[in-house]
Structure 1
């Protein structure tokens, strides 16, 4: 009888509301997939959480639905939708806008879980990475191209489409700062720990380089 009471007491302590239980599953799934990748089995995940696999599937009927939720929590929700508006706010000098964006973006997404899940997803060939890349390009990088055009007194992107090399210059910046985070948080390599200084220098080099690279017709040399 005493043992039965202990078991019931433990079950009572573990009985969570649906909202809390769902959050528990998602939070643990983020850590789990960051450690083992998307090949990790839901049976092992359920064991780590301390629940049964059928209970996990009650909240997420398929592993794909759980992965989609992890993607949303890790990659989409942390993004500040105000960033896009601030990139376009010409009351602030362009260099200050870009520096502010990448400082805030780095502080938000350059985390252990984010980087590992992103890399595991890419190695798996999962479409999540492609979704994220399209989102970053459409919401942030293409508007940056338009603002750089304006900054350099060049034709607008409405009158002249964005060239491949224009976009690549911004991907080089974006990817370079991402790899800084990989070196620091994944490889634990020696880096300059002043991330703000890294961003400021990268933006200044980008803008000076683009000014020198544009030709007189508003296109990129070798575009």
Structure 2
């Protein structure tokens, strides 16, 4: 049986010495490129082995020393934090407030297509990282709560209020139960991504129809619950859910 080919080191390129059978020289990458290379290798490693994988394993995969890693990141936790910041930027490029407020299409269609694009931006690697972070105690799903609320759940709640003819967010602050209503939809759609990328179930590459169906099923009940909620006095709001001024 032939030996498996070795994984190529990041930042290595062949030169004349290599062609002559000598050890190839390591190309020194600019600092920003090296950070990108480290994060790419970290994403691959942690998605495969979990966050218990050591920085020694990461350095070995990159073909560098641990000391070289720490020139760019002070600790493993800092690598993990930067990794999830990058994934959050990839998932959250859309302006949900603008998309839900300005389009004249029915709310179910607007929301369904927004979530379809959101799901399309989720890769298998990023979804496995997200799940592993929770299982391995890194708490990234919990830490993203405020960002998720601001970028997705708040716009959804604002759109629901407009659809139901209720007070807008500047008039009446977001309530815990409203966030839970929006989270019901978000969670069901994220489970589609988990089924596809973590369970490896046979789902279509394009999840648009699945997203549209989930929204259509959820929307009538969500509007009814919002109206009932607003018929009662407002509850006390925790600071991170208060509307931004």
After TM superposition, is the score higher than 0.5? yes
- Which of 48, 69, 78 aligns to 2:82? It is 69
Within-5 A mapping of 1:73-152? 73-89=86-102, 91-109=104-122, 111-152=123-164
Matched, 1:182 2:198: no
1:138 offset after TM fit, Å?
A: 1.9
Within-5 A mapping of 1:1-223? 6-7=21-22, 10-12=24-26, 14-89=27-102, 91-109=104-122, 111-191=123-203, 195-215=207-227, 218-219=230-231
Q: If the length of structure 1 is used for normalisation, what is the TM-score?
A: 0.84
1:29 offset after TM fit, Å?
A: 0.8
Residues 84 and 113 (structure 1), Cα distance of their counterparts in 2 relative to 1, 3 Å cut: farther
CA distance in 2, matches of 1:217, 1:130: 25
CA distance in 2, matches of 1:150, 1:171: 18
Q: Alpha-carbon deviations, 1:20-57, whole Å to 9, x = none?
A: 32221111111111112221100111111111111111
What count of residue pairs does the alignment treat as equivalent?
216
Identify unmatched segments of 5+ residues in structure 1: none
Identify unmatched segments of 5+ residues in structure 2: 1-16, 236-245
Q: Which residue of 1 aligns with 2:4?
A: none
Residues 193 and 49 (structure 1), Cα distance of their counterparts in 2 relative to 1, 3 Å cut: closer
Q: If the length of structure 2 is used for normalisation, what is the TM-score?
A: 0.77
Q: How well do the aligned residues superpose, as a CA RMSD in angstroms?
A: 2.6
